[in-house]
Amino acid sequence: MPEEKEGGVVKVIELVGSSPNSFSDAVRNAVKTASATIRNVTGVEVISSNATVENGELRNYKVQVKIAFLIDRGAAATAGEGGS
């Protein structure tokens, strides 16, 4: 799942996305929300999916996903130069 990048480091986190419309929208919601606060998102893997059923109808689609993002070495190096 993580994008290959020579010398790069990728972090993977797990999230649950949801949508009243579809599993695809639930995945999109998870990626969009993660991308709002995480830079360099490179991939998503769906681990599991389920839905709430009410009166025989699907109501809320949920997906457990792994989100991969490239660690920004420039930001990490700058943060570590503080004054030790």
| Domain definitions of the chain by residue range | 10-72
| Token duo for residue 9 | 């480091």
pLDDT, tens only, 20-49? 999 999 999 999 999 999 999 999 999 999
- Could you tell me the pTM of the whole model? 0.78
What is the C-alpha separation between 61 and 53, in angstroms, rounded? 9
| Token duo for residue 69 | 């993002």
Query: By the 8 A CB rule, do 17 and 60 touch?
Result: no
- Chain centroid, CA 18 distance in Å: 13
pLDDT, tens only, 70-84? 998 765 444 444 554
| Token duo for residue 73 | 């070495």
The topology under which CATH files domain 10-72 is Dodecin subunit-like (3.30.1660)
| Residue 78: DSSP 8-state | H
H-run or E-run covering 15: strand 10-19
